[in-house]
Structure 1
Amino acid sequence: MLLRFQVTNHASIRDEQEISFVAGDDRPQRAQQPVPGTRFSAVPVAAVYGANASGKSNVVSALAWMRAAVLDSFRHWDPAGGVPRKPFRLRPDPGAHPSTYELDLAVDGVRYEFGFTADDESIREEWLSYFPEGKRRKLYSRAGSGPESLTFGRSLTGRRKVISELLRPNALYLSVAAAQNHELLGRLHRWFRDGLRTASDRDYQARLNYTVGLLRGRDRRSQDALIDLLRFSDLGVTELEFREPDERLLEETKRIETALNDVGVPFRVDVPDCHVRVQHRVEGGTFALELDEESSGTRTWIGMLGPVLHTLGSGGALVVDELDARLHPYLADALVGMFQSPDINRKGAQLLFTTHEASLLGTNARTHLFRDQIWFTEKDPDTLATRIFPITDFYVRDSGEAKDNLEKRYLSGRYGALPFLDDELLRRMADEIAGGGDSGAGQTVEAGRSQAAGAA
């Protein structure tokens, strides 16, 4: 499970910001899980609200980048290419400021703290501790870019020195150790690979491929669950059908990718695993439509089914950017409810999502989000840097007859994180377009000539 994520200097996030999954209250009506070795629990869902361009998507981007660094830094990053990070750029000399990423998580009943700091050239720091029996023990720490900067705790056994000799300045030790089949560190690496998943518009094809992969697999229960969710959505869809991909197209794409990568040009194309059509049953029979003929909401729902079912079925965390995009509020509400419900979410799965859908906070929502599950993003008006803060910074009643209507309070500006709309600019715009056209342009030119003549 994911317990805490902290990031400094990523995209619009300039200063240290944090999101926590640690529950503030005990709520038996939600699928919260005990945190190993503590008296705390972890919430199953966390929602991030904020205005456009406030930095919500960069919360997802930061987690996705940290995951990519763990999975790719040793195997795929150019040894001489530095660190492909995304620092905050709205200040002088952004390259002079390092970026830091840190996670608290639990894997196989043990809690870990893992993090690293990087600049444009190398990994400057890296650390990993764990808490067997609730007591903190150091596994390793790194205070520089080279192997000599590593120190190891007594709890870390295995070929740690051999692994350190393979370390590059721009690679994480965790990535190197996993590539060398280190048992303990490989377990943590697999959590980043299999237990932390992201969903955004950028990875739609990969998500669709995963959804279709469930249908093509041998697990009949997963296939039935997927079809049930298709029909549950009331989109008029009864089945998905697929046709195997064109092998010649796959081979040609692979050849182009290999050729470009061999000459130092990173290139990758997500080729569909197969051709997908959507079946609809109507009065006259069953008919199939091409996937691109379906509404954007239908395509979005189909693309989400694979990651949602896999996460609910195996545990781990799913991080979704703009959950409500192209989905009806009832569907977004139902998706959140799957993770919130103890009856449906039986493996401790977690959902972190960004959204504008304020109805999820309202009293009419199917799924009730509590105060320790709601976060906001705002941009500082002077620096344009993102600030992340929880609704618990405000007094909120979320139980009993006196429960606050969070939707109403949010939309009325009680918690901030709303766009500031300057009505004076609208009035000015109305005056400008009302007097627009060629005559307006001519008046402006004549006025400029008169001013020039007066100055002369």
Structure 2
Amino acid sequence: MLLRFRVTNHASLRQEQELSLIAERPRDGRVERAVPRGDHQAVAVAGIFGPNASGKSNVINAMVWMRAAVAHSFAHWAPSGGVPRRPFALDRDAGVPSTFVVDVVIDGVAYEYGFSCDDREFTEEWLYSYPEGRRRKLFERTAGEPPEFGRSLTGGVRTMARLTRPNSLFLSVAAAQNHDLLGRIHHWFDRCFRSATDHDLADRLRFTADHYLSGAAAGEPIMQLLRYADFGIGELMLAEAELELEAEHRLLERALRQAMGERAVRVESDPTDRVRLEHRTEEGSFVLGLAEESSGTRTWAGLLGPVFFTLAHGTLLCVDELDARLHPNLTDALVGLFQSPDVNVNGAQLVFSTHEPALLGHNTRTELGRDQIWLTEKGADGATALFPLSDFQVRDSSENKEKRYLVGRYGAVPFFDERILESIVAALRGGSGDGTTTEGAGPGREEVA
């Protein structure tokens, strides 16, 4: 489980910002998991709220970027390609490193893993464990110096260090060399951390279709989740021609792996072309292609596989703009799957960004505690500040958090400059923009109702 995530100098996140899933205090009615060898509980849900361009999506993006660096830096980044980071752009000093850190629990042990990088290389990387509640160094790496290894970390790590390029992570190299312990840390990033953004919809649709159509145990629950949204859909299927094409792709993938190894490029088709949804009405059954469905249906279909996988395995799902193209009640219901102890029996976690203030109100099926609500706003320097609602004196049970949020009591809401609006109205009336009317402006001189 994820305990904390910290990031510095990524996109609008200029100074260090921290997202914590540590509960402020235990609370009945929601999923919480005990932190090993500690007195704390970790929550299952954290929502990030804020106005447009406040940086809430950048928090999700920073988490996804860290995952990508761990998963791909050794296997897929070009040796001379540097580090494709996204530093804060409104800073004259482009050489400031970017830093990413997670505190996670894996197999009952807490770990802190992090790294810093500039445009050329990883300048630092470290991993600590807390098996007895006290920090134990596993490794520390600084650019230009040999790595330092703790006494408990064995298994050819010095040989692996020689294989590590300046722009690859040692953790990625060790996992590729099948190191047992480091491979488990890598596995958390690669397999136990999924994301849902606008950029990976096709991958999510493919993931959903593959799991449903494989005949595995996930098939029926995925179908039930599709029906749960009440879109009038009775079945998910592949077009017959696409089934044959899918089989050809499998054969081609197998041949490529035999010839080139496991790193061969995957042969993929566009899931929006092959997936079909059956609608059952009083007039009978009708099959539509995914491209013919509403954007809300496509969004929900793309979430089904990741949502079920995360709930089934007790892993982490990060969703950017959870409310986009979904009804507020459906967004509320989705959050409720993770918040409910009756449903989320494996302790899965959901981190999401949203514009939807209704999730803060009393009329939701799923009430978020103040330690689960995070806010973003930008300062005069264009940098994002991330802070929890627990920074304010708010009573979870009686406070109308939605109303207070919308009127700006917690910040993190848009600011509307009424002087700009007056200038726009003057222009619409044919004025000069300074509140005066220009002669001869024709119909624009008339009063606007």
TM-score by length of 1: 0.89
Q: Deviations over 1:378-428 (max 9, x none)?
A: 0002x10011011011100013xxx10100110011000001011221111
| Matched residue, 2:383 | 385
**1:128 aligned counterpart, secondary structure:** strand
8 Å CA contact 1:210, 1:306 repeated in 2: yes
Report if the CA contact (8 A) 1:245-1:272 is conserved.
Answer: no
Kindly provide the amino acid, as one letter, of the partner of residue 374 in structure 1. Answer: I
- Aligned mates of 1:271, 1:351 — CA distance in 2: 29
Q: 1:293 and 2:267 equivalent?
A: no
Q: What is aligned with 1:397?
A: 395
1:307 counterpart letter in structure 2: P
> Alpha-carbon deviations, 1:302-328, whole Å to 9, x = none?
110000000000011100000000000
The residue that corresponds to 1:131 in the other structure is 130
Correspondence for 2:179: 182
- Cα distance in 2, alignment partners of residues 309 and 357 from structure 1: 23
Q: Secondary structure at the match of 1:203?
A: helix
Counterpart of 1:347 in structure 2 is 346
Tell whether 2:209 aligns with 1:212: yes
Q: State the match for 1:356 in structure 2.
A: 355
Change in 2 beyond 3 A, CA 1:245/1:58? farther
Q: Which residue of 2 aligns with 1:83?
A: 83
Q: Which amino acid aligns with 1:9?
A: N
Which amino acid in structure 2 is aligned with residue 416 of structure 1? G
Rounded Cα–Cα distance in structure 1 between residues aligned with 2:164 and 2:370: 44
| Residues 55 and 378 in structure 1, CA contact (< 8 A), matched pair in contact too | yes
Q: Which residue of 2 aligns with 1:315?
A: 314
Bigger drift between 62-71 and 267-276 goes to: 267-276
CA distance in 1, matches of 2:438, 2:305: 56
Please give the alpha-carbon distance, in whole angstroms, between the structure 1 residues aligned to 2:440 and 2:91.
40
Cα root mean square deviation, aligned: 2.4
Aligned to 2:238: 242
Percentage of identical aligned residues: 54
Query: For the structure 1 residues 151 and 242, does the alpha-carbon distance in structure 2 shift closer, same or farther, using more than 3 Å as the test?
Result: same
Q: Contact 1:45–1:336 (CA<8 Å) still a contact in 2?
A: yes
> Shift of residue 443 of structure 1?
8.2
Letter in 2 for 1:28: D
- The SS at the match of 1:78 is coil
- 1:219 deviates by 2.0
Q: Tell me by how many angstroms 1:44 deviates.
A: 0.3
**For the Cα contact (< 8 Å) 1:279–1:289, is it kept in 2?**
yes
Cα distance in 2 between the residues matched to 1:37 and 1:73: 33
Contact 2:23 2:43 in 1 (8 A): yes
- Give the secondary-structure state (helix, strand or coil) at the position aligned to 2:101: strand
> What is the one-letter code of the residue matched to 1:50?
G
Following TM superposition, the consecutive aligned residue runs of length 4 or more in structure 1 with deviations greater than 3 angstroms are 245-251, 267-271, 440-444
Match for 2:212: what amino acid?
Answer: L
Give the paired residue count.
Answer: 423
Task: Give the 5 Å matches for 1:75-114.
Answer: 75-94=75-94, 96-114=95-113
For 1:348 and 1:246, locate their aligned partners in 2 and report how far apart those are by CA, in whole Å.
38
- Kindly indicate whether the alpha-carbon contact (under 8 Å) linking 1:245 and 1:275 is maintained by their aligned counterparts in 2: no
For the residue of structure 2 that corresponds to 1:239, the secondary structure is strand
- TM score, norm. by length of structure 2: 0.90
Give the distance between the partners of 1:308 and 1:248, measured in 2 at CA: 26
* Cα drift, residue 270 of structure 1: 6.1
The whole-number CA distance in structure 1 between the counterparts of 2:28 and 2:179 is 38
Check 1:268–1:419 CA distance in 2 against 1; reply closer, same or farther (3 A cut).
farther
Structure 2 residue matching 1:13: 3-state secondary structure: coil
Q: Which residue of 1 aligns with 2:196?
A: 199
The CA distance in 2 between the partners of 1:205 and 1:388, in whole Å, is 30
**What residue in structure 2 maps to residue 140 of structure 1?**
139
State the Cα distance separating 1:285 from its structure 2 match. Answer: 1.1
8 Å CA contact 2:213, 2:237 repeated in 1: no
Other structure's SS at 1:188 match: helix
- Counterpart in 1 of 2:220? 224
* Local SS of the residue matching 1:313: helix
Distance 1:10 1:236, change over 3 A: same
SS in 2 for 1:323: coil
Equivalent residue, structure 1, for 2:281: 282
Describe the superposition over 1:83-134 as per-residue Cα deviations: whole angstroms up to 9, x where unpaired: 110000112132x111000000001111100000101111111110001132
